[in-house]
Amino acid sequence: MTLAVPKDSDQHLSTAEVCSLVGQPDADTVLHVERLRYLRQLVAGAPSELWALVRLDLPYLRALQSSMAWLYSWVHRTTDLPCPNTEPEPWTSLMCQAPGRFKGLVRRARGLVDPATYHKGLLEALLTLDRVDCDTVWSTIKDFVEPLSVLRATVDLWASTPCVVPDVAEVAEDVKLMLDPQPCCEEFRASRVSGESADTFAGLDWRPSCQLPFVLTGDVAVFRLEDPPLKGYVYPFTCSLPLAAASGFMRWFEASCDVLGAFAQTSAAHPVSLHASAAALAELEPASAWLLRAGFVQTASGLRSPGS
């Protein structure tokens, strides 16, 4: 089989391009497939003497584990089998009792691998990370120069790999935001001649003209705020944070603002009480100050309607 690349064409082809031209998987995929075929034969009928030799070869055992993890990463969404490196028994039973099904899973994984769609080196680097956070992952990714689509596909593949450390999915989503080309500027605006500037965050000094129309009779409606995941990250949010931490805080912030809104609205129909720590109220400034100006009363446990 030849590549049939014209002599006047670019002769510098990547491994992925060569594999695509000849319609074959990359060398690593071939190695995984052949290891898995041999492993099935070992499990099905290898004598104890051969197994004793295999157990002495730790690098080969790690290679077998790597191939099983590779297989599971490609087929786990379409099988009910558990991760083979944590629960091997169902897989050994499959190899012995339903070898055809095992071979089918291997063929499926082989057919799904397209070396042109992801970066093998980056995937390996991500899989070996001991610490998974946005800063560490981004520092790893920025060392690889590839099209954004390849980098994003590699991050997706890493996040979908079973048996990886927790929180990978959330970190992967944050990192993919950094790899999104949409936020990039595509045109430049001319500077304003007048040199006027606008505040990024305008002042939020709201002063109500009168107190809210409180209803002070009836059953007390109780609201609660969870404690914030961070302290000191307050409006106008100018301090630097890892993206994952900031995203988690903003989810809490949005949910807490919804609670404050419902708390204020309900005060027009019922007496209300808000259970919130001092830390939670501090993180929601200046909204907490607005509520006090509108007539709510601060207590040891949070805020309440006046006189309730």
Q: 19 and 106 share a domain?
A: yes
Q: Please tell me whether residues 143 and 108 are part of one structural domain.
A: no
What is the distance in angstroms between the CA of the first residue and the CA of the last residue of the chain? 86
Among residues 62, 92, 112, the one where a domain terminates is: 112
Residue 5 lies in a domain: no
Average predicted confidence (pLDDT) for the chain: 82
pTM given for the model: 0.48
CB 148 within 8 A of CB 118: no
Cross-strand partners of 223: 274
| Residues 108 and 124 occupy one common structural domain | no
Residue 25 lies in a domain: yes
**Which carries the bigger pLDDT value, residue 206 or residue 194?**
206
Classify residue 83: in a domain, yes or no: yes
For residue 44, tell me if it sits in a domain.
yes
| Total of domains in the chain | 3
Rounded to an integer, what distance in angstroms lies between the CA atom of residue 130 and that of residue 136? Answer: 10
Q: Is residue 197 part of a domain?
A: no
209 in any annotated domain: no
pLDDT of 155 strictly over 60 = yes
Q: Can you tell me the distance from the alpha carbon of 30 to that of 34, in angstroms, rounded to the nearest whole number?
A: 6
Final residue of a domain: which of 58, 80, 112?
A: 112
Query: 124 and 103 in one domain?
Result: no
Is 210 a domain residue? no
pLDDT given at position 4: 61
Among residues 95, 112, 129, the one where a domain terminates is: 112
On whether the CB atoms of residues 3 and 22 are closer than 8 A, the answer is yes
Q: How far is CA 216 from CA 115, 132, 266, 272, in A?
A: 68, 51, 11, 9
Amino acid of residue 274: L
Mark whether 40 and 129 lie in a shared domain: no
> What pLDDT is attached to residue 205?
61
* 184 conformational bin, left if phi > 0, alpha if psi -120 to 50, beta if neither: beta
pLDDT digits (tens, 9 = 90+) for 231-244: 877 776 666 666 67
pLDDT for 32-47, tens place per residue?
Answer: 999 999 999 999 999 9
Residue 70 lies in a domain: yes
Same domain, 94 and 132: no
When mean pLDDT is compared across 1-5, 25-29, 210-214, 293-297, the lowest value belongs to 1-5
Q: Is the pLDDT of residue 271 over 80?
A: yes
Residue 86's region, left for phi above 0, alpha for psi from -120 to 50, else beta, is alpha
Cβ-based burial of 123 (10 A; exposed 0-12, middle 13-18, buried ≥19) = middle
- The answer on 108 and 68 residing in a single domain is yes
Can you give the residue range of the structural domain that contains 169? 120-178
